[in-house]
Amino acid sequence: MNLKFITKLAEGGSGEIQIMRTGKWNHPQYGLFEITKEKIANYIKNFEANVRGLVDENGNPQIDTDYDHKKRTDKASGWIKGLSVKNEGNELWAKVEPTSDAKVAIKNGEYKYFSPEFTDEYTDPETNRTFKDVLLGGALTNRPFIKGMSAVSLSESQSAGCDIYLLTDGEGEQDPENNQRKDGVSTMDAIKELAELKGTHAGTVKELTEAKTTIAKQEKDIADNKKKLDEAQATIKEMKDAKEKEIADAKEKEVKSLMEIAIKEGKVKPADTKEIDGKKGFLLKLAETDIESAKETVSRLPKILDDEAKGDSGAGMDDDASKTGKKELSEADFDAKATKLADESYDGDYESAVKSMEAQGFKVKA
């Protein structure tokens, strides 16, 4: 950065600084890297697309600048408000608005140069989208790496990016006399460390990709199995419903057949086998509840004679009441007759005897 621009910032205005130019360099700690016209164009495109998601009060994109790449403080030294190219796209320039503290520091000669921070690949933590060549910010510095610009870039002791990492708190500063970092690690060892980190990163990415593929396959298998299970359950329900209908139809047919037999044999009156005004006859009700009991009852019932209306209304009922046609009995007489009939015709089954008597028209006098 030239002194003319420093003075302009210190006087309170904002202005443009050259932060990058095309070329190839061999950094003592991080090795070879290259800045091309394509990269510079990408820095501008991604800034204007606001892939970092940082905006000013008017909703315009901006990224911060700091002091020595946040080595001693996280305070901002200013804000980059815009990017442009010059010299046929070989130079990247930034419009910067410095903070009041930065103006004082520049005016007092505490800082004279500027260094950008950038990355070859940036992944948005929310959308997981990856962008190539993204400018992350920059810093006021007194140890620029790339020389020969109106405003220099890339500090000697620090860098930023995916392939060029930014180190803080003094870690990684270069000792030019011993060709090693100030923490005692040689340049070659540092390069080896970086290569190992890259290998680990690549391995982790591969594992995550394979895991995502496996999970996707498992989710598909689960969905397929659920579909098969739903289809099987639907088939089972259809079979169950069909079987239940088959059983119900068979039972209905069996009950109907029993009713027809009972009437044909003269064991019951038709009313005993039908439902009239919501009330079911005793034999129909019994058959629908327990068909076997109904069959046994029919087999034990005496035949009701066809000339019942003339007074001969019940086989097995050869008492005076039956012969004279008296069918309204006192409770005691009804009980006695039912008991007698049960002993004679129903092996002592009183209830069946009562039903037989009722079927023949006998009832207790009111």
pTM for the full predicted model: 0.42
Q: What is the pLDDT of residue 155?
A: 44
Beta-carbon neighbour count of residue 43 at 10 Å? 24
Q: What is the pLDDT of residue 146?
A: 65
What residue ranges do the domains of the chain occupy? Answer: 3-179, 303-366
Helix 100-107 vs helix 3-10: crossing angle, to nearest 10 = 140
Q: What is the pLDDT of residue 343?
A: 81
Q: What is the pLDDT of residue 170?
A: 38
Nearest Cα neighbor of 70 from 175, 183, 171 is 171
Q: What is the pLDDT of residue 354?
A: 87
Q: What is the pLDDT of residue 150?
A: 57
Positions of the chain with pLDDT under 50: 1-7, 151-179, 305, 307-324
Q: What is the pLDDT of residue 62?
A: 95
Q: What is the pLDDT of residue 188?
A: 64
**CB proximity list for 18: less than 8 A, separation 6 or greater:** 86, 91, 92, 93, 149, 150, 151
Q: What is the pLDDT of residue 270?
A: 87
Report d(CA 37, CA 90) in Å as an integer. 6
